[in-house]
Amino acid sequence: MCDVEITEENDTKEHIIPNAIGGRKKVKGFICESCNNTAGDGWESELAKQLNPLSLFFGISRERGEAPSQLFETTGGDKLKLHVDGSMEIEKPLYLERPLESGVGVRIQIRARSIPEVKRMLQGVKRKYPQIDLNELLSNAKSESYYCPDMFEFNFSFGGHEAGRSIVKSALALAVSSGIPVEACIRAKNYLINEEAEACFGYFYEYDLIKNRPEGIPLHCVSIKGCSKTNQIIGYVEYFGVQRIVLCLADSYEGENISNTYAINPITGEELSLVVELNLSVEEVRDAYAYKKIPDGSIESAFGKVISVGMNVSFEKEKDRVLNEAVMNAFEKCGAKEGEMLTPEHVNKLAGLLMEKLEPFILNQFTQPLK
């Protein structure tokens, strides 16, 4: 994206699909360190921001770090922070103080996200009411978990030039790593380096370009095809099985016929072997630019094919979390020492202690609407 020659000193490993949304495969000899930093701070940050609700919903796996937690509003008006492991927490601590009905004394209610946060808040209370016994208050503090009774409201807005340039860069990276010179991808390069250039991508849902789509996988896919007959280099990028974009990297290509596809399951990081047919005409690509390849209901249909996967992932993670917590709590409190045989008394206690932790999870399943 600049005129500086790529050398061993300034070369970088570039993710074809951004690491922020679960990409793994990297290429070298494509982008210098300076341009990579610029693209990462701008384009890929915007793409990751737009797709972060889906990253959290599907609980994606990343090479570095985790998808950042995000605040969402529920249909009941609460604001909760969702984490990639499926857990949630309140937006901020709650402090309520009101006088007692007798007129003598006050009632203080504190709701916090952790015991250390409670301690910090109580220090402030102690300064206001020196007579308070902090140790007694802390001994009465208890940690509770509950399930949100309402639905989350997600905003899946997607697009714009910042995210668009990240998409084009991914297709260009695959093209270059497949043997197509970057100079041949004139439309893609022009769009990346010229802010006034026309966008070279559009959305495509008219039919499925992936001919062997695996059922129920919110896949990521980047595919390119250089054709000497049509003089086009066509690209296809898909994220989470939902965002489906076609690109024209060049329309004056005179090189060899080359095609390549890279795809992964972002939940597991497993690479997928897909067949993508990019036999698109210039007119079809142009129609995609003009939003003419999005039949009514097609985006909703794409969502419908993968949404249950996210629900199942969330359920399995929560089930495993609850089971592990229940078992650890039960053995810790049943009275049995490590390594000794369990007595009938221990077993009876274990059953009750297990249900103590499992009951909220089980009851929550019965309160869910039928799907």
Running DSSP on this structure, what letter comes out for residue 277?
-
Residue 148 lies in a domain: no
Q: What is the pLDDT of residue 367?
A: 65
What is the percent of the chain with per-residue pLDDT over 70, rounded to a whole number? Answer: 99
pLDDT of residue 18 exceeding 90, the answer is yes
pLDDT of residue 348 exceeding 90, the answer is no
220-227 and 106-111 strand pairing: unpaired
Total tally of structural domains belonging to the chain: 3
The SS3 call for residue 60 is coil
Q: What is the mean pLDDT of residues 202-231?
A: 95
Question: For the chain, where are the alpha helices, taking DSSP H only?
Answer: 33-39, 45-58, 115-128, 134-140, 161-177, 186-193, 282-289, 298-333, 344-367
CB-CB neighbours of 72 under 10 Å: 18
Judgement on whether residues 205 and 251 belong to the same structural domain of the protein:
yes
pLDDT tens, residue by residue, 110-164: 889 888 898 899 999 999 999 988 888 888 887 777 888 888 888 777 888 999 9
What is the helix (H) or strand (E) element at residue 284, kind and residue range?
Answer: helix 282-289
What is the percent of the chain with per-residue pLDDT over 90, rounded to a whole number? Answer: 50
Last residue of a domain, one of 107, 138, 169: 138
pLDDT of residue 368 exceeding 70, the answer is no
Residue 126 lies in a domain: yes
Nearest 5°: phi and psi at 141? Answer: -70, 140
Q: What is the pLDDT of residue 47?
A: 94
pLDDT tens, residue by residue, 24-67: 999 988 888 888 888 778 899 999 999 999 999 999 989 888 99
Count helices and strands (H / E) in the chain. Answer: 9, 14
Judgement on whether residues 276 and 312 belong to the same structural domain of the protein:
no
Lowest mean pLDDT across 171-180, 208-217, 307-316: 307-316
Running DSSP on this structure, what letter comes out for residue 75?
T
Judgement on whether residues 179 and 260 belong to the same structural domain of the protein:
yes
Q: What is the pLDDT of residue 369?
A: 54
Running DSSP on this structure, what letter comes out for residue 78?
-
The whole model's pTM is what? 0.85
- Choose among 197, 239, 192, 249: nearest CA to 218: 239
Residue 30 lies in a domain: yes
Last residue of a domain, one of 289, 323, 357: 289
Q: Quickly state the pLDDT bin for 177 (edges 50, 70, 90).
A: very high
- Choose among 241, 240, 283, 234: nearest CA to 261: 234
CB 42 within 8 A of CB 194: no
* Domain that includes residue 362, residue range: 307-367
Q: What is the mean pLDDT of residues 232-246?
A: 96
Judgement on whether residues 134 and 164 belong to the same structural domain of the protein:
no
Residue 153 lies in a domain: no
For residue 251, what are the contacts with CB-CB under 8 A and spacing of at least 6? 187, 231, 232, 282
> In Å, what is the CA distance from 222 to each residue of 25, 109, 168, 173, 291?
11, 53, 10, 10, 20
Q: Quickly state the pLDDT bin for 72 (edges 50, 70, 90).
A: very high
pLDDT tens, residue by residue, 275-288: 999 999 989 999 99
pLDDT tens, residue by residue, 297-314: 999 999 999 988 888 888
Residue 216 lies in a domain: yes
> In Å, what is the CA distance from 43 to each residue of 39, 132, 216?
5, 53, 29
Judgement on whether residues 169 and 275 belong to the same structural domain of the protein:
yes
Q: What is the mean pLDDT of residues 346-369?
A: 80
Residue 9 lies in a domain: no
Residue 22 lies in a domain: yes
Q: What is the pLDDT of residue 370?
A: 46
- Mean pLDDT of the chain, nearest integer: 90
Last residue of a domain, one of 226, 255, 289: 289
Alpha-carbon radius of gyration of the chain: 27
Nearest 5°: phi and psi at 363? Answer: -65, -35
Judgement on whether residues 38 and 170 belong to the same structural domain of the protein:
yes
Judgement on whether residues 267 and 312 belong to the same structural domain of the protein:
no
pLDDT of residue 332 exceeding 80, the answer is yes
Q: What is the pLDDT of residue 371?
A: 45
Judgement on whether residues 272 and 313 belong to the same structural domain of the protein:
no
Residue 65 lies in a domain: no
CB 268 within 8 A of CB 61: yes
For residue 132, what are the contacts with CB-CB under 8 A and spacing of at least 6? 122, 125, 126
pLDDT of residue 205 exceeding 70, the answer is yes
Tokens matching residue 235? 């690209």
Judgement on whether residues 215 and 104 belong to the same structural domain of the protein:
no
Judgement on whether residues 180 and 224 belong to the same structural domain of the protein:
yes
Residue 257, Cβ density class (10 Å: 0-12 exposed, 13-18 middle, ≥19 buried): exposed
Q: What is the mean pLDDT of residues 360-369?
A: 74
Judgement on whether residues 178 and 133 belong to the same structural domain of the protein:
no
Q: What is the pLDDT of residue 64?
A: 85
Q: What is the pLDDT of residue 306?
A: 92
Q: Quickly state the pLDDT bin for 325 (edges 50, 70, 90).
A: confident
Tokens matching residue 302? 């794409």
Judgement on whether residues 98 and 124 belong to the same structural domain of the protein:
yes
Q: What is the pLDDT of residue 136?
A: 87
Q: How many CA atoms lie within 13 A of 147 on its CB side?
A: 19
Q: What is the pLDDT of residue 267?
A: 93
